[in-house]
A and B are shown apart, each in its own frame.
Chain A
Amino acid sequence: MSEAFQVKSDPELWSKLGMDVERFSNIPPVLTGVFSDVFLSQENRPQGMAYFDNMVSNIFTGRIQEMYDAKQEGRPVVGTFCVYVPEEIILAADGVCVGLCGGSQGSIGDAEKILPRNICPMVKSAFGFKVGRICPFFEVVDFVYGETTCDAKKKTWELLDQYVPTHVMEIPQMKRERDKKLWVEEVKDFKVAIEEKTGKVITENELKVSIETMNAKRKAMQRLNGLRYHEPAPISGRDMLLIQQIAFYDIPARFTEKVNELCDEIEVRISKNSYVAPKGTTRLMVSGTPMALPNWKLHNIVEKSGAVIVNEESCIGTRYYKDTIETDGADMSQMLEKLTERYMQIDCSCFTPNDERIDQVIKEFRDSGAQGIIDYCLQFCHTYNIEAVKLRQACEKEGIPFLAIESDYSPEDVGQLQTRIEAFIEQIQG
């Protein structure tokens, strides 16, 4: 199978989208190589990973075609950058929601022609994709819905709006009653903005169904992550990260079905003692900033150094699916309120105070049977970087080995990271 793997190309579709086809044509072969090295070199992967590998193979073609077709049918295609933007509402309008966060070094140069260099690589990478017209997802969306979480993002939206219509949802910085009031209003405005695009008002039933769809998706991911906590590990951290990344561009119902199938397979594998790492392999969990596709740098280094990653406390991780919404008997306005409450439980470091997150990290550390925490902070992400101080204090108090890493997408620091990570593994092994 590994010989056959290829990230596919479709220059015709790309030119219809207005992309820089010539430049973009180099990307699929590069991704094919990297993906093969990082993922296909692993042994004894669950068979259910074939679906997700295929999602990567079709990332710039089949999946884009599906979105393009949806758009032709008049369904809204919305790009987002944050798990605070309520997907349920987009889904209720029969829309398509896609995460546009950038995880590639390749577009940083484009961004730095315009943006200051000393901001988060995720923002630069995404912005660069748009400026260089080298991301089909960016080109297929009708509009972008940003939010006011961190400074890097909220100020970049003003510039991004020069390239693609960019709406902004206000996310408060605190979680008091008055902030909740504002938040509910923002959710309602968001609903109206989506309705304006389709020219159709979202019905109570449509919202209820979409909430159920998203609940099912989040529960499937919870189930998979729970199975992953088994020692020895039945699935690698790399594969888990990949699935959590694909969650941001796949069709929710189809994704849920495939995740559940994978869970069924993993249950069987556990009963047959079939694992991806031997018993006693050092177990590490990651906390911190999200790792957007194709950012596999940390996982690749850790797992090639002989440890296994057993949890991601991240937005491309548990923050995305740890909470669901109860809709029992609620009317539209109650549902919107419950939805808002669910979103308010996301513990991003952009909030103050944010002590729930510290407790949540420790809880996930215990649940996952990890032996140490690597706190991953994208360079220049001040909120996560500062919050790492509190996390370190909490870990010291609990006697949890803790390693803080600050990195970007460039390959330059791979050797240095490798040394730190190997030393951290040695520290844990004693």
Chain B
Amino acid sequence: MTIGIDLGSRTIKLAVMNNGQLEDWQVVESSFKPHLQSQELLKAYPGKSIIATGYGRHLAKKHFAQGIITEIKAHALGARHLFPGCRTILDVGGQDSKVISLDTKGKVSNFQMNDKCAAGTGKFLEMMAGSLGYELDQFGEAAMRSSGTLSIGNMCAVFAESEVVSLRNDGHLPEDIARAVHMSVVDRVAAMLERIGITDELVFSGGVANNGCIAHLLEKKLGRPVLVPKVPDVVGALGAALHQL
């Protein structure tokens, strides 16, 4: 049994691998003391060696982890395990998004990260859902109900928010605005993907991949299938667990 833990900026993910299978996983909101919280989660698995990844990996190493790898490598390992033909990964998390290219053997050959602004991240969707009065888990479904072509022009989250408010005041349907918000995230991540170049299978991971509307619009935009793992949040933790195998 091996354990991987991903200390992200917004959630902590745990993956337990047994005999090459993902046996158990957990996703919890992170608190101010992520290492204590992680240690609490890990109590169920005493004496196991633990590999940490994510934003809080160094903290984990200081307190409990036996080894660390970056999110980039963790996603490469995790995505490749789930989809052996994967050569390109899109990971959209709470605070950042990244694209990773793999060579034929699954090794990282190039990567790019957007971690300076909220646009194209989960944070952006969350803010916009809030200003339209949707719960985050219904936001994608609402957008799917729209067949509109409305778009928002502002990439910056702060300006996009006021644009959303004025669209509402202009009488546009909330679903149509929701779709426009989703489309803006898709445009942003598609541009990142096109910059790095997409080869073979494209895997979409991270918490935002739970939003079916993003994956759907992305498939339409790119004109190719987008593979979403069953639990897209834990791909990084899974990769960490695989690292020690």
> Which residues of A are in contact with B by a Cβ distance under 8 Å?
413, 415-416, 419-420, 422-423, 426-427, 430
Contacts and interface: CB of A to CB of B under 8 A. Distances in A.
Contacts of A427: 72-73, 107-109, 111
Contacts of A416: 96, 113, 115-116
26 contacts: A413-B115, A415-B55, A416-B96, A416-B115, A419-B55, A419-B71, A419-B72, A419-B113, A419-B115, A420-B111, A422-B70, A423-B70, A423-B71, A423-B72, A423-B73, A423-B108, A423-B111, A426-B70, A426-B72, A426-B73, A426-B108, A427-B72, A427-B107, A427-B108, A427-B111, A430-B107
B69 interface: yes
Contacts of A413: 115-116
Interface in B72-112: 72-73, 96, 107-109, 111
B109 A426 contact: no
Q: Say whether chain A's binding surface is mostly helix, strand, loop, or mixed.
A: helix
Nearest to B55: A415
Interface in B45-81: 55, 69-73
Please give me the 4 A-B residue pairs with the lowest Cβ-Cβ distance, nearest first. Answer: A423-B72, A423-B70, A427-B108, A416-B115
Interface string B111-127: 10101100000000000
Nearest to A406: B116
Nearest to B72: A423
Nearest to A428: B108
Interface in B121-167: none
A83 B72 CA distance: 38
Nearest to A419: B70
Contact of B69 (A415, A420, A426, A430): A426
B112 to A, nearest CB: 9
B184 to A, nearest CB: 23
A415 B95 CA distance: 13
B92 to A, nearest CB: 16
Nearest to A426: B73
Contacts of A422: 70
Contacts of A419: 55, 70-72, 113, 115
Contacts of B107: 427, 430
Contacts of A423: 70-73, 108, 111
Given A416-B116, A423-B71, A426-B72, 11 more contacts: A416-B96, A419-B55, A419-B70, A419-B71, A419-B72, A419-B115, A420-B113, A423-B108, A423-B111, A427-B72, A427-B108
Nearest to A416: B115
A420 B71 CA distance: 9
A230 B116 CA distance: 37
Contacts of B96: 416
A415 B7 CA distance: 14
Contacts of B70: 419, 422-423, 426
